[in-house]
Amino acid sequence: MAVHRRLQLSQVGEVCVVRFVDRKILDEANIQELGQELFQLIEDEDRKNLLLNFSSVEFLSSAALGKLITLDKKVKAHGGKLKLSNIRPEIYEVFAITKLNKLFDIKDDEADALASF
């Protein structure tokens, strides 16, 4: 089993629920590590459906958005689904400004997101 330093995982049915350890996802080294850990879930651990719960995240930069986009492509390539939930308004605005709210399937909360898989 891979070690996840930046993620907290729980399995709910066929969905892997991911929470973030870091409140601010911006340091370049952390973002690289975070990206690798997320990609491992798909590529090495063969998980298909991911729900990213952002409840603990207070800040993220454009570099983190890039990792999420790459993750979305990997999930789709493996026939899975990626959903995001519990995004606080300040961060949702970042998704809205960049129109990534159209690319990602964003739900208000974890229950909504789980029900939509």
Which residues in this chain contact other proteins in the complex, by CB under 8 A? 26-29, 59, 61-63, 65-67, 69-70, 72-73, 90, 94, 97-100, 102-103
- Measuring CA to CA, how many Å separate 83 from each of 3, 26, 88? 23, 21, 15
Nearer to other proteins, 17 or 80 (CB): 80
Nearer to other proteins, 21 or 63 (CB): 63
User: Are the CB atoms for 34 and 21 separated by under 8 Å?
Assistant: no
33's CB contacts (< 8 A; 6+ apart) are 5, 6
30 vs 40, beta carbon nearer other proteins: 30
The smaller minimum CB distance to other proteins, of residues 90 and 112, is found at 90
C-beta of 9: minimal distance to other proteins in Å? Answer: 23
Q: How far apart are CA 8 and CA 86, in angstroms?
A: 15
| Shortest CB 113 distance to other proteins, Å | 21
The least CB distance from residue 65 to other proteins, in Å, is: 6
Paired sense of beta strands 59-60 and 49-53, if any: unpaired
